[in-house]
Amino acid sequence: MAVPRHRFSAWDGSQDPLGSDVEALFDRLSEDLFHGWDFESALRRLLEKGWRDGRGKRLAGMDEMLDKLSRRRQTQLERFNLDSVFEDMREKLDRVISQERRGIQERLDQAPGEGRRVLERVAEQRSRQLNELPAEPGGAIRGLRDYEFMDSRAEAAFQRLLDEIRRNVVDSYFKEMTQSMQAMTGEEMSGLREMARDLNALLRRKLDGASEPELQRGYEAFLQRWGGLFPNAPAGFEDFVGQLMSQMARMDSLLQSLSPEMRAEMESVIGSVFNDPELQDTLAELAGTLDQLSPRARLGSRHRFFGEQDVSLEEAMGLMDRLQSIEEAEGDLRGVLRGEGLDEQALARLRQLLGDDAARSLGEMRQLMEELEGRGLVELGPEGTRLTARGMRKIGQKALGDLFARLRRDRFGEHDLTRLGHGGDRGDDSKGYEFGDPFDLDVQRTVMNAVTREAEGARQGPTGPLPGRDGRGVAPRASSRRVPRLHPEDFEIHQTESLTRSATVLMLDMSRSMPLRGYFYAAKKMALALDTLIRSQYPRDALTVVGFSDLARVVPSSALPQLTVNEYVYGTNFQHALMLARRILGRSHAENKQVIIVSDGEPTAHMEGGRPVFSYPPLPETLVKTLIEVRRCTLERIVINTFMLESNRQLVRFVDQMTRLNRGRAFFVSPESLGDYVLVDYVRSRPRAAA
């Protein structure tokens, strides 16, 4: 068997164990955003459905885990029933009574002649008491507590039954306390009462709105006195309260799941076992206070059992414990969907319920999300996980990169230069300095000009070449050490591209037909790519995105990744969008202004009295008012370029009217090539001014 070998190296900052996984995960989120999801929904969908990376590694989603937990719960409900909770208790009570009757008879059989008559009277009294015991367990236990046993074995069996019931009840309140209070003597019962009173007082302070530091100090004082009863109590008060709620939810769930008659019987049993009304009142108050503090309607849940397997009280409490664990695991998973973290206890619970694979998937998913946060792509706020500015830029870069990948063979991105001049981006070439040029000196070429000039002058000399030692007319070594003198004709300056600023409004159709036809994905991805292109390559240019359906609105650049459509809004209001675009460009001082329209249909809405009017087929006045806005844009020297995703006859006619009025250009493209056309057209048509 081959022994695996591993090689280790010191950390140098280049290793990235989660790099490819994090990139793939973010790419998956980005694709969902391109399809019109907002980030919260995309993240929730990823967590719900799970994820498989490019290498085939699969991380299970929350839906799958929640479904497994639901099936586990259903298995428990279909297997057990609670009708027999008291049957085991009744059988044990019957055995206690039977043993007592046998013990009485044995005492009578062994008694001597004179003492037998006295013993017979005592036995008759005891038998009458046993015969008069109520049939229900609570009444029988109460009667036997006041009964003076004649058989020690029966008395010991009854005490064991009391301890068992007491343990199950106390365990539902204070799980760790039962080991230290097994026998529950009178003194210990008194201590339990006092401890419960102190705890009630502390919980009431929380209910009354005491501050967290104050509650924590009170909790620490509580542990100083009663910490021996809680050997594994958490350090924080809130964690302790959560632990109490979880434990008490089991008893509450059992009581809710019993029939009203059985619930009354259970309360009777509890009262008869403790035989301490003050303690019962204190515990009831504790349960009520925790119920008020619980974020849920009630601490526990009602379960409907319809199986055939009987359970005892102890088994019923264990069953409630398992169901409670399932509920807590479900709460943990839903918390992850809300952006909450998972502690190690929650992971251990999920591992126990769902196995190692589920816990591994959840742990790795959590690690990936933490890595996204660590890289500054997302951040956890009061309202959940959201994109940061850096994350938004990365999504735009992905959109741009995806489109560039399609155009790489065309060497997309080069600019045709109109004329060389100054005031723009520095080029690779230089030119001789002329009066009036900015003195952007190319030092290297200037010095080389001086060196070349002096070298040529040295070779020519006043009457001819000066022979060197090698006979080739090279200047002597001493002259090469001289610092060259600069003459005006030596100066060269960098050549720069003379640029004009462009202001663009991207009109993005967000009407109902766009997502229904599957076009919104391409439009949103193109908008993100164009925004990223302009911000990264042409920072002097300005881009404003206007989304329009029945009305138009400006979409901030920061909101582009979250952009979604309302599928229930009808109307494509070109008129309002052009009005808004014209106002935006009117405030710009850019030399070149243009509107880029991306749509899949002709105008179906216009403004009347400040409100949109929708009609399909379009009203004549809708087309007229839209073309009036086109004409106004033309008069203000705003170029309108149209990219249409459909090409029916009526639409072609409308677009032709727009282009004839504005002298812009129109493209009828497929959604797959929309981004290619828009980006290429933007770069190629971007004007450059003379220097």
Question: Is 34 a residue whose pLDDT tops 70?
Answer: yes
* Mean pLDDT taken over the chain: 78
Amino acid 399: pLDDT: 73
pLDDT tens-place string over residues 126-170 = 889 889 888 888 888 888 888 889 899 999 999 888 888 877 776
Asked whether 524 and 34 are in contact (CB, 8 A), the reply is: yes
Strand partners, 504: 543, 594
In terms of Cα–Cα distance, which of 550, 611, 547, 546 is closest to 582? 546
Dihedral, CA of residue 527, residue 530, residue 532 and residue 538, to nearest 10: -150
| Among the ranges given (251-260, 318-327, 623-632), the one the predictor scored with the smallest mean pLDDT | 251-260
Question: Is 89 a residue whose pLDDT tops 70?
Answer: yes
- Give the 3-state DSSP-derived string for 622-660, with helices as H, strands as E and coil as C: HHHHHHHHHHHHHHCCEEEEEEECCCCHHHHHHHHHHHH
* 139: amino acid identity, one letter: G
CATH T-level fold of 502-685: Rossmann fold (3.40.50)
Spatial distance between the Cα atoms of 107 and 100, rounded to a whole number of angstroms: 10
pTM over 0.85: no
| Among the ranges given (28-37, 328-337, 667-676), the one the predictor scored with the smallest mean pLDDT | 28-37
Using alpha carbons only, how large is the chain's radius of gyration in Å?
42
pLDDT tens-place string over residues 410-427 = 433 333 333 333 444 455
Question: Is 560 a residue whose pLDDT tops 50?
Answer: yes
DSSP secondary structure string, 331-345?
Answer: HHHHHHHTT----HH
Q: Which residues contact 173 (CB under 8 A, 6 or more apart)?
A: 244, 247, 248, 251, 283, 286, 287
Helix (H, G, I), strand (E, B) or coil at 177: helix
Amino acid 417: pLDDT: 30
Domain(s) of CATH 3.40.50.410: residues in the chain:
502-685
Amino acid 481: pLDDT: 56
Q: What is the largest CA-CA distance in the chain?
A: 165
Question: Rounded mean pLDDT of 649-673?
Answer: 87
Spatial distance between the Cα atoms of 97 and 161, rounded to a whole number of angstroms: 12
pLDDT tens-place string over residues 369-402 = 778 888 888 777 766 677 777 877 787 777 777 7
Residue 495: pLDDT band with limits 50, 70, 90: low
What are 323's two structure tokens? 């169901």
Helix (H, G, I), strand (E, B) or coil at 466: coil
Amino acid 466: pLDDT: 41
Amino acid 529: pLDDT: 85
Question: Rounded mean pLDDT of 344-365?
Answer: 83
- Within 419-568, strands assigned E span 420-432, 492-497, 502-509, 542-548, 552-555
Amino acid 628: pLDDT: 95
Spatial distance between the Cα atoms of 425 and 440, rounded to a whole number of angstroms: 12
Chain centroid offset of residue 96 CA: 58
Residue 595: pLDDT band with limits 50, 70, 90: very high
- Surface-to-core class of residue 280, CB atoms within 10 Å of its CB (0-12 exposed, 13-18 middle, 19+ buried): middle
